[in-house]
Amino acid sequence: MGSVLESTDVKNKLEDLSGVVIKPGENPYNALIDACHSNPAEIQALYSAHRVRRNAQQKEKFLAADYKELIIDQHLLRLEDQSIEPGYVDPRHCMVFWGRPPWHIIELAAEVQRRLKVAAPSLWLMPMPRMHITALELAHSRTAEEIAAIRTTLEPAIPAIANHTLHHRARLVKPMVSYDLSALALSFLPAAGEVSPTSAPATSASVSDTTTTTTTTMKQHDDNYTYHHLRRDLWNTSKDAGLQIDSRYVVPSAHITLGRYLTDADHDTPEKRASWVAAIDEVNAWLEAEVWDKEDVAAAQWLVGQERGLDVRVGTLWYGGGRTVMTGEGF
């Protein structure tokens, strides 16, 4: 019989630092939308407040005089190093709706991984093909049979859920590294009217009537349907299908997990921890200066559903695994 392991969630509770209070029994995503009057700028501000406060909180923990240790994911450690417990298999089955990043976002995430791996060589990195954003977690830490029953209940609604982003396009912008004592992620903010360039061919008669050049114009987006609205709608559709949604947490966060810690080796002295925090600050400064670019967010923006619709997925999902039930149509 395998080990009964404690989840990192027990030691590393992900609390909502936006200041929004969720009322028992209601769709938890409505609370933030209502508090922000469904205004995308206000929603973005609360997402930003959450991740900035959490990073500040975690920075204090890394640099604290009474720092003890990282929170090592014991499940992942055993999967990666089978000598600890030969034959170990993750027993935690889940069902989720994932958004799959388009290729330019995957490339950006991989570059961030590369920069941080230099600062912490022992990091476990999420493989590029497994990168995802969890739009909604329906159930976690269940048996395979329990997840199969949940899937059966949801079956009639799965096509509508997988294809929801085809006609409900939520945009994410302003990536930043978010981190804590167990993992790090590339987090995004719901867009709020940021402009982005669109290129269009224009005919020039200066040399030949057939000479074509490219002109760039700035496009203003309608961001009234935000990522938080998307999460709200997925929750409602699942609830209407007869499910009791059991998410581990509901916080204003839109993130792709980049990596996890499997050893204290890169962080076992105050100097190493200070260097690690400085490396994250440096990457975030680079992202804001070079990737956010107020006049050109194309390199950083992500319309959820680009290239692929939502990935309805089941199985042992914690580290990008599991299997797809259905992937929606992309655009």
Q: How far apart are CA 200 and CA 287, in angstroms?
A: 27
- Predicted confidence (pLDDT) per residue in 220-279, tens digit: 678 999 999 999 999 999 999 999 999 988 899 999 999 999 999 999 999 999 999 999
Domains of the chain: 26-203+211-327 (3.90.1140.10)
Q: How far apart are CA 173 and CA 196, in angstroms?
A: 11
- Which pTM does this prediction carry? 0.89
- Averaged pLDDT for residues 202-211: 38
User: Who's near 16: CB < 8 A, 6+ residues apart?
Assistant: 22, 50, 249, 250, 251, 252
Measured from the Cβ of residue 22, the count of other Cβ atoms closer than 10 Å reads 14
Model pLDDT, residue 18: 65
Looking at residue 65, the DSSP 8-state letter turns out to be T
Q: For 320, list phi and psi in degrees, rounded to 5.
A: 90, 10
Q: How far apart are CA 73 and CA 80, in angstroms?
A: 11
Task: Supply 140's token pair.
Answer: 């976690």
Kindly indicate the confidence band of residue 196, based on its pLDDT and cuts at 50, 70 and 90.
confident
Task: Supply 204's token pair.
Answer: 């020039």
Element of type H or E holding 35: helix 28-35
- Predicted confidence (pLDDT) per residue in 296-328, tens digit: 566 689 999 999 999 999 999 999 999 999 999
